[in-house]
């Protein structure tokens, strides 16, 4: 069994690559739910759905949402004076309506995800990190924002003063999460945000210790090349969490206790000795995943390094 810890946009590329390289039957994703929240009374789980759609082969080319979706409902809501900054397409809304109705009938998010993946023909299992509500709150000089308000509505323009993950300390791992970590042949930490995706998953009580106990079987891929994230504002989240440096080496330091092998980009090869000095094995390769072939190639390197 291959287990991947993943967030959304960067994470789903790796999860999809692992599926392309090794098939879905033995693949388990443990996915961040700190970005989840209500829109128009519907429970939206962005990271779970990006991974679900990627594995189902229906994700839009932009990397999130349903392929060839339309936005008539959102346009209608805007006409009525409602916020319309979060891109929920018409087909995508069906997922959120179905999830919300199932939860209203007493289902957990885990049960919803199992239903969704079976209906979309996804063989891999996708576990939310927890079934408890966990919400990432970002504090900036202009106040507190929900994660999606900071990232999508406000374009992540502001510096971050602090990050709070509400509900995390009281949460428990979703069913199957600890068993998957304990039983995995290899655990892949996807190139997701170290603070608000992977950090949140590892922050569910019991998860960090379970992963650390398997450290020799854990491999992480850097989301950072040189001094910048491949895309998105991970540098702002790093600074908001108190890390001044944004680099692959800094990532390795953050994962030092949970991860024995760290994958960095060829242009960062000079950091390999410093990473090995942390007691980690460094693997140097092209870590960019612009297309399906690149995802599969990187996944083969990752799995090959742990064979
Ligand atoms: P979010 O939940 O949508 O914010 O997404 P994630 O946390 O899963 O991923 C965000 C991270 O993915 C960013 O820090 C990016 O640098 C990283 N990322 C995106 N595309 C790639 C890629 O092709 N290769 C690597 N190595 N990292 C990537």
* Ligand 1 probe mutation, 49, 50, 191, most atoms within 8 A of CB: 191
Calculate the alpha carbon distances from 69 to 10, 92, 272, 288, 290 in Å: 21, 8, 43, 27, 22
Range(s) within the chain of domains with CATH label 1.10.8.240: 35-128
d(CA 307, CA 296): 16
How many Cα neighbours within 13 Å face the side chain of 173? 21
Closest CA to 51 of 182, 192, 161: 192
Q: Are 58 and 43 in contact (CB under 8 A)?
A: no
Ligand 1 centroid distance, CA of 80 (Å): 35
- The answer regarding whether domain 177-305 maps to CATH 3.40.50.10680 reads yes
Average pLDDT, the chain: 97
CATH code linked to domain 35-128: 1.10.8.240
Mean pLDDT of 230-242: 94
Structure confidence at residue 247 (pLDDT):
96
Distance between CA atoms of residues 15 and 6, nearest Å: 8
Which residues does a 6 A CB cutoff place in the pocket of ligand 1?
6-11, 13, 35, 47, 191-193, 197, 221-223, 229-232, 234, 287-289
> Residues spanned by CATH 3.40.50.10680 within the chain?
177-305
Looking at residue 7, what is its pLDDT?
97
- Per-residue pLDDT reduced to its tens digit, 153-192: 999 999 999 999 999 999 999 999 999 999 999 999 999 9
pLDDT tens string 30-82: 999 999 999 999 999 999 999 999 999 999 999 999 999 999 999 999 999 99
- Band (pLDDT 50/70/90 cuts) for residue 193 is very high
pLDDT at 158: 96
Ligand 1 centroid to residue 14 C-alpha, Å: 9
> For residue 200, what pLDDT band results from cuts at 50, 70 and 90?
very high
Ordered DSSP codes for 80-114: TT----S---HHHHHHHHHHHHHHHTT--HHHHHH
């Amino acid at each position: 069994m291959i287990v991947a810890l993943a967030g959304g946009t960067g994470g789903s590329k790796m999860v999809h690559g692992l599926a392309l390289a090794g098939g879905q039957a033995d693949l388990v994703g443990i996915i961040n739910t700190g970005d989840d929240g209500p829109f128009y009374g519907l429970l939206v789980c962005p990271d779970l759905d990006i991974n679900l759609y990627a594995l189902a082969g229906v994700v839009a080319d932009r990397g999130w949402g349903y392929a060839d979706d339309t936005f008539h409902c959102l346009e209608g809501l805007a006409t009525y004076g409602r916020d319309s900054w979060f891109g929920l397409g018409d087909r995508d809304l069906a997922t959120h309506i179905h999830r919300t109705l199932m939860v209203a009938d007493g289902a957990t998010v885990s049960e919803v995800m199992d239903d969704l993946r079976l209906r979309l023909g996804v063989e891999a299992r996708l576990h939310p990190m927890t079934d408890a509500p966990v919400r990432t709150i970002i504090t900036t000089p202009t106040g507190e924002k929900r994660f999606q308000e900071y990232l999508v509505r406000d374009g992540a323009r502001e510096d971050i003063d602090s990050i709070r993950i509400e509900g995390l300390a009281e949460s428990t791992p979703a069913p199957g999460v600890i068993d998957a970590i304990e039983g995995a042949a290899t655990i892949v930490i996807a190139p997701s945000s170290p603070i608000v995706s992977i950090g949140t998953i590892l922050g569910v009580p019991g998860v960090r210790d379970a992963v650390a106990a398997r450290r020799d079987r854990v491999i992480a891929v850097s989301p950072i090349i040189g001094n910048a994230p491949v895309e998105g504002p991970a540098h702002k989240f790093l600074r908001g969490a108190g890390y001044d440096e944004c680099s692959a080496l800094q990532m390795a330091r953050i994962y030092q206790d949970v991860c024995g092998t760290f994958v960095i980009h060829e242009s960062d090869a000079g950091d390999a000795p410093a990473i090995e000095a942390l007691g980690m094995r460094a693997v140097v390769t092209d870590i960019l995943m612009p297309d399906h072939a690149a995802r599969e190639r990187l996944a083969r390197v990752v799995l090959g390094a742990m064979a």
